[in-house]
Amino acid sequence: MGMRYIVIGAGAVGGAIGAALFGAGRDVVLVARGEHRAALAAGGLTFVTPRGTSVLPIPVVGGPDELRLTEADVLILAVKVQDSVAALDLWSDQPVGVRTAGAALPLFCAQNGVEGERLALRRFARVYGVCVMLPATHLAPGRISAIGDPLTGVLTVGRYPAGTDELVDRLCADLETGGIGGEASAAVMRRKYNKLLANLGNALEAVTGPIDSDEALALLEHARAEGAAALDAAGIDHVGPQEEAATRRRLTTAEIPGEPRGGGSTWQSLSRGTGRVEVDYLAGEIVLLGRLHGVPTPVNELLQRLANELARSGRPPGSVTVEQVRELLARP
């Protein structure tokens, strides 16, 4: 039996990865819920890129009870980190022959933040980190758009906590065949911590809207400076701009005519009214490190609180002005 990729969480990132692997001729199953699952089952995945629109008949299930897992399966976890524990608990206990999935199957964490791998390693013996650079949007059931061109994205892949192996090379090769850059790294978490700093703009964008004013850019710079200081205080190594430049040069974007361009992952969660966002594992990760190591992180603390308030109240992205954020920061 050949290898099968099971993508748990067929949102923007998971759907785009599944589309690439399916386009490469690999055996793929998407895991989705609710209206998105129904739309995928009824009409396939509509995948829109600058190169055109494809409707991909990728098999979809709602959970592991609809599959018989084998040792040829590879799990790709692409849910938001705040949903990781529920997904990991569900999938890790599934039978694979006489063993469990947690003991028998590899799990790749294609997620923002750096906590997903730690959560996974408590339940899966073989865990891999994936640093995701893939600008994609999922706002409607059954439909995902991705503006990367000619590559849909670039994923850096490695064993967690460190190292590479043949499976890393296989996934990278399959991604490349499907139009996503796949780069093996023996130190993938260095990439992910650097991506964490980049993702500190997610909360600001979600709270205040596009980061296109001098005042918004100054807040973003402050949030990232807090992040770098917290990482340094914790002794956490991360790649620098020059080291990452080659990877970023591989990813260029183009507009898709007639297709609205969404914001980042936190912005999309607010737009869909999910009620939860991943900010606790982005800005909140910096807040945690700051508290552990005595580094003040007021900008990230405030953005974490505001993003969570918007999510819980069902308010749309951009509900708070940059000036309001600055006023709140100025309060004693």
- Tell whether 51 and 126 lie within a shared domain: yes
pLDDT tens for residues 275-315?
999 999 999 999 999 999 999 999 999 999 999 999 999 99
Which residues constitute the domain of residue 28? 4-188
Residue 242 lies in a domain: no
- Tell whether 41 and 177 lie within a shared domain: yes
Q: Binning pLDDT at 50, 70 and 90, where does residue 50 land?
A: very high
pLDDT tens for residues 100-109?
999 999 999 9
Q: Binning pLDDT at 50, 70 and 90, where does residue 247 land?
A: confident
Of 148, 168, 188, the domain-final residue: 188
The CATH number assigned to the domain holding 74 equals 3.40.50.720
DSSP-assigned states of every residue in 209-246: ----SHHHHHHHHHHHHHHHHHHHHHT-----HHHHHH
Q: What is the pLDDT of residue 122?
A: 98
260 has a pLDDT exceeding 80:
no
DSSP state of 83: G
The CATH number assigned to the domain holding 279 equals 1.10.1040.10
- Tell whether 123 and 179 lie within a shared domain: yes
Q: Binning pLDDT at 50, 70 and 90, where does residue 9 land?
A: very high
- Tell whether 233 and 183 lie within a shared domain: no
- Tell whether 119 and 260 lie within a shared domain: no
Residue 220 lies in a domain: yes
Average pLDDT over residues 6-18: 98
- Tell whether 177 and 210 lie within a shared domain: no
Taking phi over 0 as left and psi of -120 to 50 as alpha, with beta for the rest, 273 belongs to left
> What is the rounded distance in angstroms from the CA atom of residue 232 to the CA atom of residue 278?
23
Give the containing element (helix H, strand E) for 278.
none
- Tell whether 69 and 129 lie within a shared domain: yes
- Tell whether 143 and 275 lie within a shared domain: no
Q: What is the pLDDT of residue 262?
A: 76
- Tell whether 77 and 127 lie within a shared domain: yes
> What is the rounded distance in angstroms from the CA atom of residue 145 to the CA atom of residue 147?
7
> What is the rounded distance in angstroms from the CA atom of residue 211 to the CA atom of residue 129?
29
Number of domains in the chain: 2
40 has a pLDDT exceeding 90:
yes
2 has a pLDDT exceeding 90:
no
pLDDT tens for residues 124-177?
999 999 999 999 999 899 999 999 999 999 999 999 999 999 999 999 999 999
Residue 250 lies in a domain: no
Average pLDDT over residues 207-228: 97
65 has a pLDDT exceeding 80:
yes
- Tell whether 108 and 44 lie within a shared domain: yes
Q: What's the whole-number average pLDDT of the chain?
A: 96
- 188 in Cβ contact with 108 (< 8 Å): no
Q: What is the pLDDT of residue 1?
A: 63
- Tell whether 223 and 117 lie within a shared domain: no
Residue 245 lies in a domain: no
- Tell whether 93 and 127 lie within a shared domain: yes
Q: Binning pLDDT at 50, 70 and 90, where does residue 332 land?
A: confident
